[in-house]
Structure 1
Amino acid sequence: TYSDLILIPLEWRVSNDTLRNELLNLQPGSLYNVSVAALNDDEEGPSITLEIETIIGIPYPSPPDIVIRERHGDRMVVYIPEAKNVNGPVSMYRIVVSIELYQQGYIIDNLGNYTYATELGLPYYITAELDPDDIKTDFTIGDRSTYNGFYNAPLPLTNDIDVSLGIVSEKNHVKRIRYAESTKKIILNINEPEEVSPLVVALGAGIAIGVVLLLIGIGLLIILRKRIHFARMERGSQSMPLSLSEPCVEIENTGFIQDEDERVDYYSNLK
C-alpha cells in the first residue's frame, strides 16, 4: 500500500446464495489477501485465499505549491517540492502555466500542450511533464525544450503568470491525474529583457532615428517661420508716414477764364 496508515483486517458475511459481492472500504493501490470460507452454526470450513490488488485512486493530498526562485525575461526558475500520494505512485509531475490577465484559473478538461492551447486560444497550457528524478534540481520554465511531449514555451513578457503543479499516477494501465487548487503566484515585474533578434533591433533603431529626424525637421520649420514673421514685423515698424516740414498755405482760386475771341467771318468781308 502507499498509505501511511496501517490497514486493519476487514470481514464480510454473505448468504449462501450469493454469487457476486462488492468489497467496500478498501485502500486504493493496495495488495490484499482475500480468504473465502464456508461458515455454519457450528464451525468454519476450509478457506481459499486469493491475492488481489486494488486499482489506484485519484492522488491525495493535493499537489504542493511550486516555489518560484527568480524570473529572467521570458524564463522562470522554479523549485518543485516532492509530492505525496496515498492512493498510488507519483509517476510524473506536470507544470501548468496560466496567463492570469485573461483567465482566473483553468478548466482541467481543456488542459493540453502549448500547441493545443494556441490553436484553441486558451490562456493556459501544460508546459512540461517531468520524471520524479527531474525535480531534484531547479527547473527553468520557458527554455524552449520539450519534456515528454510538452513544449516548454517562453513566457509572455507583459502578463501576470500563475504556475501550478499536477501529479500523474499510473499503474497497471490505469492513470489518475490531480492538479493543484489555484494558488496564485503572480509575477508582476520582469527583471531582464527577452532575447531580441538583431533584425528587430535594427528595424526599431531605424524607426526611432526616422522619428527623431522628423521631429527635428518640424522644429526647424517652426523656427524658420517665426524668424520670417519677426523680420516682416521689423520692416513694418521702420517705415514712417510722409509729413510736410513747412506749414501749408491755402491758395484761393480767384483766376478766370478768358472769353474765347469772336469768330471772324472772312467770307462776308470779301463781299
Structure 2
Amino acid sequence: ETVIGTPYPNPPDIEIKEHRGDRMLVHIPVTKNINGPVSMYRVIVSIELYQSSFIIDNLGNFTYAEEHGLPYYITAELDPEDIKNDFIIGDRVTYNGFYNAPLPLTNDIEVSLGVVSEKNNVRKIKYAESTNKIILNINEPEEVSPMVVALGAAIAIGVVLLLIGIGLLIILRKKIHLARLQRGSQSMPLSLSEPCVEIENSGFIQDEDERVDYYSNLK
C-alpha cells in the first residue's frame, strides 16, 4: 500500500486579476505534487493589519475565525475542476463547507493557497509559504469627514485672504510714497536772499569850486 506524504513542492502564489469592493477575481494555478495526488485547493484569507501569518492548527472556516477572534480563515475549498476558470473571492457561496465571505474594505489583505492530498483515508495538507498582499480598497474612494473638508476649505480661504490683504497693503504704501514724491517736486523753493538796503551818505562833501586854499592864506 502506497503512503502519501506532505505535498511538495510548495503551492504557487494566487494570481490576482481584479478586485472591486468586497470581491476579488483570482486565478488559481495548477499545483504539482510529487508525494501524492492533488485532491483539493484551499484559498486562505488573512487580514494583514492584525496578523502577519497564520497558525495552521487554528485555521478554520469563516465562522470559526469569527467565534475565536482570528484574523485568518479558509474561504473556499475547491476541486481541481473548479480552478480551470477564474475564481471570485467573497461571492457569499459555500464551497465544500467553507463560506466564501465578502472581504473587508478597509484592511490590508493577504490571500494564499493550500493543497490537500488525500488517499486511502489519509489526508496531507501543505500551505504556501509566501502570500500575495493586496489592498482591497484601492478602487474604493475613502470617505472624508465633512468637518475635515470644511476645515480645509476655511484654512485655504483664510490663506488666500491673507495674501490678498498683504498685496493690497504693499500697493497702498507704494501709492502713498509716490504721491509724496510728486507733491515735493511741484513745490517751489523759498528765496533766502537778503534785501539790498541803500545807505545814504549824510556826510558833507564840499564842491571843488568852493574849496578854500588855507595854505595860501597862511602865507
**TM-score, normalization: structure 1?**
0.51
1:68 counterpart = 2:33: no
Corresponding residue of 2:203: none
State the Cα distance separating 1:183 from its structure 2 match. Answer: 2.4
Task: Identify the match of residue 134 of structure 2 among 167, 170, 186.
Answer: 186
User: Per chain length, whose mean CA-contact separation is higher, i.e. which structure has more relative contact order (CA < 8 Å, sep 6+)?
Assistant: 2
Q: How many residues align?
A: 143
Which residue identity is paired with 2:51? Q
Matched residue, 1:163 = 111
The 5 A counterparts of 1:36-47 are none
CA distance in 1, matches of 2:121, 2:58: 22
The equivalent position to 2:78 in structure 1, one of 101, 108, 130, is 130
Between the aligned partners of 1:124 and 1:178, the Cα distance in structure 2 is 16
- Assess if the C-alpha contact under 8 Å between 1:157 and 1:190 holds in 2: no
Measure, in 2, the Cα distance between the counterparts of 1:134 and 1:76.
16
Whichever residue aligns with residue 118 of structure 2, its letter is E
CA drift of 1:191 comes to 1.5
- How far is 1:70 from its partner? 0.8
Question: Partner amino acid for 1:168?
Answer: V
1:110 paired with 2:58, answer yes
Query: 3-state DSSP class of the match of 1:190?
Result: helix
For residues 235-246 of structure 1, the aligned pairs below 5 Å read none
What is the RMSD computed on CA atoms of the aligned residues?
A: 1.6
Letter in 2 for 1:171: K
Superposed displacement of residue 187, structure 1: 2.0
Aligned AA for 2:123? K
Instruction: Tell me what 2:101 maps to.
Output: 153
Counterpart in the other structure of 1:100: 48
In structure 1, what is the Cα distance between the partners aligned to 2:138 and 2:31?
Answer: 29
Letter matched to residue 92 of structure 2: R
Give the letter aligned to residue 23 of structure 2: R
Q: Residue 181 of structure 1: CA displacement?
A: 0.4
1: CA distance between counterparts of 2:137 and 2:101? 19
Contact 2:21 2:136 (8 Å CA) reproduced: no
Matches of 2:66 and 2:138, distance apart in 1: 23
Cα offsets for 1:23-73 (capped at 9, x unmatched): xxxxxxxxxxxxxxxxxxxxxxxxxxxxxx321000000001000001110
Structure 1 alignment gaps of length 5 or more: 1-52, 194-207, 209-271
Does residue 78 of structure 1 match 2:26? yes
Question: Structure 1 residue 182: deviation in Å?
Answer: 3.1
- CA shift for structure 1 position 188: 5.4
* C-alpha distance 188-159 of structure 1, shift in aligned 2 (>3 A): same
Match of 2:39 in 1: 91
Unaligned runs of 5+ in 2: 147-219
CA contact (8 A) 1:105 1:182 kept: no
Q: SS of the counterpart of 1:186?
A: strand
Give the distance between the partners of 1:146 and 1:188, measured in 2 at CA: 21
Q: Give the TM-score normalised by the residue count of structure 2.
A: 0.63
* Residue-by-residue CA offset, 1:133-167 (whole Å, 9 max, x unaligned): 00001000000000000000000000011000000
Q: Which moved more, 1:130-139 or 1:183-192?
A: 183-192
Matching residue of 2:3: 55
**What's the counterpart of residue 207 of structure 2?**
none
Report Cα offsets for 1:230-263 as digits up to 9, x if no partner: xxxxxxxxxxxxxxxxxxxxxxxxxxxxxxxxxx
Query: SS where residue 88 of structure 1 aligns?
Result: coil
